[in-house]
Amino acid sequence: MSRRFFVGGNFKMNGSCDSLKAIVENLNNADLDPQTEVVVAPPTLYICNVRDHIKSGGKANLAVAAQNCYSASSGAYTGEISAQQLKDVEVNWAIIGHSERRTLFGDTDDLIAKKVEACLAEKIKVIFCVGETLEQREAGKTLEVVEKQLAAVGEKVKDWSDIVVAYEPVWAIGTGKVATADQAQEVHKAIREWLGKNLSSQTAEATRIIYGGSVTAANCKDIGSRPDVDGFLVGGASLKPEFVQIVNANKS
């Protein structure tokens, strides 16, 4: 089965009306690989504006994601947004479980699994993030940590057809450090094996597993060439013109 290459751009808490307009215009006018699916995640305040101005047709089919989504449908949850609200404004992707949500805001594996479940129930596709800290990697616990994160979602969700798994080693996010192509492939292969063992061989073969962690134009082709790396979740570089080169990393 051929898996379509996928590149996500997580703008995090960056951008203004003017800067995001420039980023969107650059993407709209770029010669992007039509075989690569591209999803960008602006800050929530700008999500509808980006949705209205990004091209969703033509050669490059671009889409917009939320950077987070709560597990409840409505209620007294100040500052949160729901899957139903994303659906209402025609935003059909969400990033769930990013390490910054886990480490800075205390999102647990169980809460993340509930968020994934809530999104899928509303037909919101999910970029589901997993990954280990430097301390966990040095202790030889990378696969143990990642499999525990996968298992929490696996207990609640059996159909992963609308999930893209993003492996993001926490020690490589925003640090300038990056996993080698071999390190990325090792964990991606283990994730695919976990999917095959705990869900189905069809799920393992079909699920896209992307890498995130200081991805740049300089390293994307090497990492993206590995057999179990199906694309990237890009942070800081998604705000720069080089994002186009990363989107085209798999272009023949």
CATH code where residue 38 lies = 3.20.20.70
The active-site residue, picked from 100, 132, 147, 168, is 168
CA 60 → CA 13, 32, 68, distances in Å? 25, 6, 24
Least confident range from 12-26, 87-101, 161-175, 185-199: namely 161-175
Q: What's the mean pLDDT when you consider all of the chain?
A: 95
* Residue 134, in any domain of the structure: yes
Per-residue pLDDT at 176? 78
* Residue 1, in any domain of the structure: no
pLDDT in tens, 187-220: 999 999 999 999 999 999 999 999 998 899 999 9
Per-residue pLDDT at 96? 98
- Res. 174: pLDDT tops 90: no
* Residue 38, in any domain of the structure: yes
pLDDT mean over 100-117: 97
* Number of domains into which the chain is organized: 1
> What angle (nearest 5°) sits at the alpha carbon of residue 68, between those of residues 251 and 128?
50
User: At 13, which amino acid appears?
Assistant: M
Rounded Cα distance between 4 and 56, Å, is: 17
Q: What is the reported pTM?
A: 0.96
| Beta bridge partners of residue 96, listed in sequence order | 128
Q: Residue with structure tokens 């390190």?
A: 183
* Residue 205, in any domain of the structure: yes
- The parent domain of residue 225 ranges over 6-250
Rounded Cα distance between 249 and 221, Å, is: 5
For residue 168, indicate whether it is catalytic: yes
Specify the higher pLDDT residue, 5 or 173.
Answer: 5
Q: Residue with structure tokens 């057809």?
A: 161
* Residue 45, in any domain of the structure: yes
The active-site residue, picked from 37, 98, 100, 147, is 98
Write the Ramachandran bin of 7: left for phi over 0, alpha for psi from -120 to 50, otherwise beta.
Answer: beta
pLDDT band at 58 (very low <50, low <70, confident <90, very high): low
For residue 188, indicate whether it is catalytic: no
pLDDT in tens, 18-41: 999 999 999 999 999 999 999 999
Q: What percent of the chain clears pLDDT 70, i.e. is strictly above it?
A: 98
pLDDT band at 172 (very low <50, low <70, confident <90, very high): confident
CA 84 → CA 70, 118, 231, distances in Å? 10, 9, 28
pLDDT band at 9 (very low <50, low <70, confident <90, very high): very high
Rounded Cα distance between 71 and 83, Å, is: 8
